[in-house]
Structure formats: C-alpha cells, structure tokens
C-alpha cells in the first residue's frame, strides 16, 4: 500500500491543528480522550517511534523530506494503512515555531497504554531473571529538557525502567521526546502514585511490595557514597531523583531505605539532576560491552 500524500498550501488547514494550534494538554485529551496523542519532531525521533511500534496518526513535513522519508512511510502504510502524510513547501514549514529544531519533519502518534506500576515492576523482574534490577523514580522534575536527558542516559546506561510520579512532567511532551532523541520509546516506563497529595506514600508502598530497596539521591549526613560496593549487591534498587530546585521531598527521603550521594570536590554540593542521573546510572547499572559499535539509523 502506498503512503497517502496530501499537498497543503496553508498551515490554517484544520487537519493540521495537532501541529499548529493545540496545546500539550489538549493533545492528551481533546483529540483522543481514551489515549491522546503526542508529537514527535525530527526524522530521527520519528524513525525511533515507528521502530518502537507506536501507531502514527499523521505526518507533516517539508517537501525536501518526502523522498528521504519514503521508505519509512511505506513501512507505515504497510502496517497501519492510510495514514495521511501532509507535505508543504519548505517556505511554509519555516513558519512553524521551532523549525530550526524540527528541521521540517513532524508526526503525531497515539499515546501508548501504560501498565499499572505493580504489573510494570513484575514484568521488569521477570525479564531480568537472576540479574539485579535497577529503576529510576522521577519526583517533581518539571523541566522537560531534564526529563528527556534522563531518559537518554537511562537508555544508554542500562536502566531497566523509569517510573514517573504525579508531580513530574510528561515524558511525551514534545521537548522531552526531542531531547531524549526518541529513547523515551525505548526505555520501559510507567506512572506511579495516584495523585500529588498522597505521594510518595503510595509509590513507596508499591515499590516495597515488589521487593525494591528505595534509595533517595540526597545530601544527608548519613548518605552512602555512590561508589559503596554494597549498593551493587542490592538485587532490586529504586533510585529516586528529585526536582531541580529543592531536590526530593523530606517525606520521600524519610520513607526511603537509604540515601545516596555523589562525592564531589571543590565545595560543589550538587549536580544538575540529568547529570547526576547519568553518574548514578553508570555506577549502579550493568555496563555495556566495550565492543559495541554505533549502528546509525536512517537519519543519523
């Protein structure tokens, strides 16, 4: 089946509202109340979303991208049928905010259904078998750039999964997706906790019931050094990362089984949460084989 190519000459076309007018909140609730949609920007990110099996709703691209994306669009058409591919002149695409980032290629995808936290954790444990399980819990992180960067580090450094608290921003917000370079589609994730007013008690309970040791990244007097060998012996570890300003809530730290800090020099007391996550993931997760060779996708 051939892709459904539709030439457009105005961004005012109602069929393009997902790209041009609707807010992130509206994308989640107005167009598709049951599941919602999200926007992927740039050919690389779109490719990773398709490779992850996510269902596209439509594409919007500048005309110079059509030939390059055609093999991908043909795969989409074969699997999903008549998915509209809106094609505009590059001059028209330049009118879209953020063109220098999107480079003139966008796609709308249906949001995947997320597993409940207990089922999610059970699945991770089953897949891990006898090896240790490492998950990261994001609490109150409101900068989409940081969330995207954490997902990218998690994918690169072998984190088994990410759990997103009620106070954390949406990993499928378009900037988070873009900064993650599409790795948000590769790292298993789910939401944990019912609502902000009862967090973190419900989240801690679910993790403890699944057999996880909960560790807060925090600068406490009794914090364990990240390089303590005993941490590597913990069979199931949930690492809590806190908001960019104040860090984790006091009640989250109090409810954790231990706190961990990264030893630092020159009087520096903290790192950006995305940088700290990368350091912690490298230390606590299984390392990739150094024989790995980069395998670029279609749009490296």
> Tens digits of per-residue pLDDT, 61-96?
999 899 999 999 999 999 999 999 999 988 888 877
**Which one of 20-34, 94-108, 131-145 scores highest in mean pLDDT?**
131-145
Question: What pLDDT is recorded for position 186?
Answer: 93
CB–CB of 172/107 below 8 Å? no
DSSP class of residue 4 equals E
Residue 211 has pLDDT above 70, yes or no: yes
Question: What pLDDT is recorded for position 245?
Answer: 78
**At 59, phi and psi to the nearest 5?**
-125, 150
Question: What pLDDT is recorded for position 33?
Answer: 43
Distance CA 276, CA 263 (A): 11
Percent of the chain with pLDDT over 70: 90
Residue 10 has pLDDT above 90, yes or no: no
222-226: Cβ within 8 A, 24+ apart: 222/259, 223/259, 223/260, 223/261, 224/258, 224/259, 224/260, 224/261, 225/260, 225/261, 225/263, 226/260, 226/261, 226/262, 226/263, 226/279, 226/280, 226/283, 226/284
Residue with tokens 């807060």: 216
Question: What pLDDT is recorded for position 291?
Answer: 76
pLDDT averaged over the chain?
A: 89
Supply 96's token pair: 């879209």
What's the whole-model pTM score? 0.90
> Tens digits of per-residue pLDDT, 248-269?
999 999 999 999 999 989 888 7
> If pLDDT is split at 50, 70 and 90, which confidence band does 124 have?
very high
Closest CA to 93 of 83, 84, 103: 103
Distance CA 268, CA 191 (A): 32
Supply 187's token pair: 């790292």
Q: Which residues contact 220 (CB under 8 A, 6 or more apart)?
A: 253, 259, 261
Residue 300 has pLDDT above 60, yes or no: no
**At 201, phi and psi to the nearest 5?**
-60, -45
Cross-strand bridge partners of residue 190 = 163
* Size of the chain in residues: 300
Question: What pLDDT is recorded for position 99?
Answer: 56
Distance CA 225, CA 105 (A): 45
Distance CA 134, CA 126 (A): 13
> Tens digits of per-residue pLDDT, 269-294?
778 999 999 999 999 999 888 776 66
> If pLDDT is split at 50, 70 and 90, which confidence band does 213 have?
very high
Count the helix, strand and coil residues of the chain and give each as a percent rounded to the nearest 5: 40, 20, 40
**Mean pLDDT, residues 130-135 taken together:** 96
């Amino acid at each position: 089946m051939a892709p459904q190519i539709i030439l457009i000459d105005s961004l005012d076309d109602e069929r393009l509202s997902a790209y041009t007018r609707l807010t992130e909140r509206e994308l989640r609730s107005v167009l598709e109340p049951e599941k919602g949609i999200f926007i992927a920007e740039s050919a690389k990110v779109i490719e990773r979303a398709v490779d992850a099996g996510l269902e596209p709703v439509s594409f919007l691209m500048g005309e110079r991208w059509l030939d390059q994306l055609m093999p991908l669009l043909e795969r989409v058409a074969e699997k999903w049928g008549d998915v509209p591919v809106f094609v505009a002149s590059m001059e028209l695409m330049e009118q879209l905010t953020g063109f220098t980032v999107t480079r003139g290629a966008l796609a709308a995808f249906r949001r995947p259904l997320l597993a409940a936290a207990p089922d999610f954790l059970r699945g991770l444990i089953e897949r891990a078998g006898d090896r240790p399980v490492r998950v990261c819990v994001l609490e109150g992180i409101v900068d989409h750039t940081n969330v995207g960067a954490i997902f990218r580090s998690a994918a690169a450094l072998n984190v088994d999964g990410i759990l997103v608290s009620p106070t954390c921003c949406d990993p499928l917000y378009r900037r988070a997706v873009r900064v993650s370079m599409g790795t948000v589609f590769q790292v298993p994730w789910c939401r944990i906790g019912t609502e902000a007013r009862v967090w973190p008690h419900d989240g801690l309970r679910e993790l403890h019931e699944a057999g996880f040791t909960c560790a807060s990244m925090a600068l406490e007097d009794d914090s364990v050094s990240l390089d303590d060998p005993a941490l590597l012996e913990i069979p199931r570890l949930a690492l809590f990362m806190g908001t960019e300003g104040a860090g984790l809530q006091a009640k989250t730290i109090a409810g954790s089984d231990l706190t961990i800090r990264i030893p630092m020099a020159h009087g520096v007391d903290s790192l950006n949460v995305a940088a700290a996550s990368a350091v912690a993931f490298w230390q606590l997760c299984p390392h990739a084989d150094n024989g790995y060779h980069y395998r670029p996708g279609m749009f490296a």
